[in-house]
Amino acid sequence: MSLLDDVKARLNIVDVVSNYVPLTQSGRVFKARCPFHTERTPSFVVNPERGSWRCFGACSEGGDAIRFVMKMENQSFGEALRSLAVRLGVPLPSPRQQAQMDPLIRANEEAMRFFQRRLQSPDGADALAYLQDRGVAPETAAAFNLGLSPDGFEELKVHLVGQGFTEEQLQRAGLVTRPQQGSSRDLFHSRLMFPIRNVEGRVVGFGGRELDGSVPKYLNTPQTPVFDKSSLLWALDAARDSIKLRGEGVVVEGYMDALMAHQQGYTNVVASMGTALTDRQVAALAPLAKSFVLALDMDAAGQDATMRSLKTSWANVPNVRIALLPEGKDPDELIRNTPERWPEVLEAAEPRVDFGFRLLAQRVDLNTSDGRRLLTDELLQWVTTEPDDSTQDRYLEKLGALVGLTRSQLEQVLQRRARELLESRSGRRQSQPSSAPVHTPSALFERDDPLEAYSLALLMRDPDLRDAAATLRAEFFRQSENREVFQKWAECSTMEELKEDLDALLQEHLESLLSREIPMMDYKQRTESFAQMIRRLEERQLREQRTQLGATLAQAVAEGRDTSPEEEELHRQDVRLREIFSARVRRDI
C-alpha cells in the first residue's frame, strides 16, 4: 500500500477538521464558521460520507482532508500528507529506504519474466498441462504473468546476478535463501509461480504452488522490505477499478479462486492468500467500495477465522456479507464448473450479523444463564456495528427473543457498553450516565473517486486533449492528489516536465493514473468522452453548491436578511445546469 492509500484509509475528515474548527452536527453533515474568511453565519460544511468539505460563503473553497490541512497549515501536498501520516501513526519511508527498495522490486520483476519464459519452454510442459486441467486459459495465465520456477538450485540466482543484481539484494528480495551451511540458493523449485503485486502493480513477491508433491503445498516469499503478506491482496491491482465501478468487492482465499473468477469476467475478486484478513488488508479494500462479500473456507477453522476477522479487521466497514458456498465446493471449482451459479451465491450472501447469530447461537447452551449471558455479550458486539437504526432494532428484537431479555434490558446493556467505550477512549471514568448514542462510531474512509481518476487518466495519456481541458477547473476535483496533479499539469508543457515537477508522493499517484485501463477509442471518441467527464465534474460541483445555497437562502429568509446575492447565484447555477443538461440530451440524440 502506498503512503497516500495508507493515510486515506485511516482518515476521518470530521476528526481532522475538528482539530482546527469547532463543528456542529446538522443532520448528516457538520457545520462551522469558515476558518478561511470572516463570517457571522456558518457556511462551512463537512460531509463525512463524501470525505469532503466546502465553504458556501465568500471564499467558495472546498476539498478533502488533505486539502484542508494544506490550507490551514499553508503546506504543500507532500508536507500535508506527511504531517497527516505522522498524526495517524503511518510510517514514512525515508529517501534512503526508497532507494534501497527499488532494486528489490526490479529483481522480483526480472524473476517474473524469467519464470514466464520457463513456463513457455519445453520444461514447462507438465505445468502447462496442469493449468489446462484446472481450466486456466493460456490468455489468463499470460495476463497474470504465471510462470514456473526451475528444478535446479541456482538457475534464477545465476540469471539475476548476470543482470547486475548482487546476492545480498536477491536475499533481501526473498528470491534466494542461504542455509546455515553452504552457499545461497534459489528459494523456489519446480513450482507454479504466481507473481504478487502491490497496489501500484509492481511485483514484490511470489506464491509458488508445488507440482511434484513437495511440502508445503504453497510457498510464499518471506517477509522482506517490499513484501508484507499481511498488507497485500492477490489480484488487487487487477481488481481495483472493477471494485470501484461495481461498488462491491469479493474476497476469496486462494490464487486459483481469484484467477478463475477473473477468467469468467468476475473481475472484482481478490484473494487473501489463505490467511484471515488483517487490519491492513481491509484498510486497502475499504476505501474502494460500499460493500464486500467474503467467500472463504467455511470449515470449523475457517468459520472461527472469519468471525475473528469480522469483529476486528472488518468491524468498522458497514456492509459486509458472507457467501455460503455449496458444501464441498470452493470458488475455483464452482466458477469453473457452473459459472452461472457464482452471481447467485454472492446475491444470497448473508449479512455479517445474521452470520454471527447463526453460528454463535449453535455454540452456547441457551438453557443456562451463562450461555445466555455469553451470547448476549457476543452478539451485542455485532449488533452495534449496524449503522442503520431500523436494522439495529430488528436485531435487538431477535436477540431478545433468543435470550429472554426485554428491549429495555438490552438497551441498558447497550448504554453501559457505550459508556465503557467512551471511558476507554477518554482515559477517565464518567461520573454521570452517558447520553451518547447507542451506535459504535464507524470509521469513515476517504474513498477514491473514479470520475476524477478516469478524467485525469484520459488527460495525462493524451496530449491532444490539452485544448479540450480549457473548461476544466481545479475546484472540480474533490481529492487533493487529483487537484494537485491537474494544477501541475496545467503549468507543464510535457509529461516529462510534469514528472520532474511533482512531489515524489504525487509521482506515485501519477503512475497509478497512467496505468489505469482505458477502452480503445479514436480521437473523436476520446474528445467526446473527456468533454462528458468535464460536464459531469462541473455538474456534481454545481449540484453540491446548489443544495447548500438553498439552505443558506432559507436561513436568510427566516432571519429577514437581503437574499438577492443568494438568489442571483442560484439563478446562475440553474442556467449552467440547464446548459449541461442540454449538451447531454444533444449527445444522446
Q: What is the CATH number of domain 450-588?
A: 1.10.860
Q: What's the CA gap between 207 and 421, in Å, rounded? A: 41
Q: Which of 579, 487, 557 is nearest to 70 (CA)?
A: 487
Q: What is the DSSP letter of 291?
A: E
Q: What's the CA gap between 321 and 341, in Å, rounded? A: 17
Between 14-23, 50-59, 63-72, 474-483, the lowest mean confidence (pLDDT) is in 50-59
- Residue 263 confidence (pLDDT) above 80: yes
Q: Which of 332, 335, 385, 328 is nearest to 356 (CA)?
A: 385
Cβ-in-10-Å burial (0-12, 13-18, 19+) of 135 comes to: middle
Return the CATH fold of 236-357: Dna Topoisomerase Vi A Subunit; Chain: A, domain 2 (3.40.1360)
Which pLDDT tens digit goes with each residue over 377-414?
888 877 876 767 788 888 888 999 988 888 888 877 77
Residue with cell 442556467: 575
Q: What's the CA gap between 78 and 86, in Å, rounded? A: 12
Quick one: pLDDT at residue 150? 96
Which pLDDT tens digit goes with each residue over 480-535?
899 999 988 988 888 888 887 787 778 878 888 887 777 778 888 888 889 888 88
- Residue 294 confidence (pLDDT) above 90: yes
Q: Which of 526, 187, 575, 10 is nearest to 1 (CA)?
A: 10
- The domain spans of the chain are 3-88, 95-227, 236-357, 362-426, 450-588
- Residue 323 confidence (pLDDT) above 90: yes
Q: What's the CA gap between 515 and 511, in Å, rounded? A: 6
Question: How many other C-beta atoms can be found within 10 angstroms of the C-beta atom of residue 232?
Answer: 26
Quick one: pLDDT at residue 443? 33
Average pLDDT, rounded, for the chain: 84
Q: In degrees, to the nearest 5, what angle opens at C-alpha 134 toward C-alphas 131 and 140? A: 55
Q: What single letter denotes the amino acid at residue 184?
A: S
Q: Average pLDDT in the 309-324 region?
A: 85
3-state secondary structure 164-221: CCCHHHHHHCCCEECCCCCCCEECCCCEEEEEEECCCCCEEEEEEEECCCCCCCEEEC
Radius of gyration in angstroms for the set of CA atoms belonging to the chain, rounded to a whole number: 27
Q: Where are the alpha helices (DSSP H) in 121-166?
A: 125-133, 138-143, 155-162
The x, y and z cell numbers of residue 463, run together, are 496530449
Quick one: pLDDT at residue 439? 32
Task: Report CA torsion sign: 270, 274, 276, 281.
Answer: negative
Which pLDDT tens digit goes with each residue over 180-234?
777 899 999 999 999 999 877 889 999 999 998 888 999 999 989 889 888 899 9
Cβ-in-10-Å burial (0-12, 13-18, 19+) of 568 comes to: exposed
Share of the chain above pLDDT 70, in %: 87
Backbone angles phi and psi of 89, in degrees to 5: 75, 25
Which pLDDT tens digit goes with each residue over 136-159?
999 999 999 999 999 999 999 999
Quick one: pLDDT at residue 349? 96
Quick one: pLDDT at residue 183? 87
**CATH class held by domain 3-88:** alpha beta
Quick one: pLDDT at residue 9? 80
- Using pLDDT thresholds of 50, 70 and 90, give the confidence band for residue 106: very high
Q: Quote the distance between the C-alpha of residue 146 and its chain's center.
A: 25
Quick one: pLDDT at residue 563? 62
Q: Where are the alpha helices (DSSP H) in 312-368?
A: 331-337, 341-347, 352-361
Quick one: pLDDT at residue 454? 87
Q: Average pLDDT in the 461-474 region?
A: 90
Contact 162, 94 (CB under 8 A): no
Q: Which of 91, 93, 225, 247 is nearest to 170 (CA)?
A: 225
- Residue 335 confidence (pLDDT) above 90: yes
Does residue 445 or residue 284 have the better pLDDT? 284
- Residue 257 confidence (pLDDT) above 80: yes
Q: Average pLDDT in the 172-182 region?
A: 88
Which pLDDT tens digit goes with each residue over 407-437?
888 877 777 765 565 454 444 334 333 333 3
Quick one: pLDDT at residue 100? 72
Does residue 268 or residue 312 have the better pLDDT? 268
* 3-class secondary structure, 489: helix
Task: Give me the residues paired with residue 282 across strands.
Answer: none
- Residue 60 confidence (pLDDT) above 60: yes
Distance spanning both ends of the chain, measured CA to CA? 44
Q: Average pLDDT in the 466-488 region?
A: 90
Quick one: pLDDT at residue 528? 87
Quick one: pLDDT at residue 445? 39
- The arrangement of secondary structure in 362-426, i.e. its CATH architecture, is Up-down Bundle (1.20)
- Residue 373 confidence (pLDDT) above 60: yes
The x, y and z cell numbers of residue 286, run together, are 475499504
- Residue 68 confidence (pLDDT) above 60: yes
Q: Where are the alpha helices (DSSP H) in 384-462?
A: 389-403, 407-426, 450-461
Quick one: pLDDT at residue 160? 97
Does residue 125 or residue 179 have the better pLDDT? 125
The edge-to-edge listing of strands for the beta sheet with 350-351 is: 269-271, 248-252, 291-294, 319-322, 350-351
Q: Which of 233, 203, 237, 22 is nearest to 114 (CA)?
A: 203
Contact 233, 270 (CB under 8 A): yes
| Most confident residue range from 54-58, 173-177, 491-495, 545-549 | 173-177
Contact 391, 410 (CB under 8 A): no
Q: What's the CA gap between 38 and 58, in Å, rounded? A: 9
Quick one: pLDDT at residue 292? 96
**CATH class held by domain 95-227:** alpha beta
Quick one: pLDDT at residue 96? 67
Q: What's the CA gap between 578 and 501, in Å, rounded? A: 39
- Residue 299 confidence (pLDDT) above 80: no
Quick one: pLDDT at residue 584? 54
Q: What's the CA gap between 293 and 489, in Å, rounded? A: 38
